[in-house]
Amino acid sequence: MTRLEDRRDRLPEDLTCVRCLEIKPTTELDRLLWCEGCLASARRRASAKGWIAGGALLGVLALYVFVWIQPDLSLIPTAWIMMLLVAFYLGSRVAREFAFAWDRMRNRRAVEAAPPTVDARGDAEPDAGSTWD
């Protein structure tokens, strides 16, 4: 038995996702109690931040290369362009992973999340009209 199976055996069948506050089966949540939808939205946000950071790195590096280094573009111009493109790609990948890790580390609920309400029987049901104060 793996540690993941052992952990899931000790948890109740249904848990609340800490991001969207929806009640989900334990098998649909990861170890930080995020559902697949919340993981996908966090990856999309991190990806956008990564591309922006990669573009900023590309701009700064291109400015540095063409203003301070001033390469002779008659010698291997594609090498300079490829260097900038690789910096853009790697910078965006690293920034994306940092942004995703930061979101996971903060572990805050989503702004649009509504907490579940408890009805008279004690069952928790999501209420679309309620908000956190």
pTM, to two decimals: 0.69
Q: Are 97 and 45 in contact (CB under 8 A)?
A: no
Q: Does residue 132 carry a pLDDT above 70? A: no
CA end-to-end span of the chain: 42
Out of 17-21, 38-42, 128-132, pick the least confident: 128-132
Q: Does residue 33 carry a pLDDT above 80? A: yes
The 10s digit of each residue's pLDDT in 49-80 is: 999 999 999 999 999 988 998 888 777 888 88
Q: Does residue 4 carry a pLDDT above 60? A: no
pLDDT given at position 80 = 87
Domain boundaries, the chain: 3-126
**Neighbour count for residue 85 (Cβ, 10 Å):** 12
CA dist., res. 39 & res. 27, Å (int): 14
Work out whether strand 23-25 and strand 116-118 pair parallel, antiparallel, or are unpaired. Answer: unpaired
Residues in the chain: 133
Q: Are 38 and 31 in contact (CB under 8 A)?
A: no
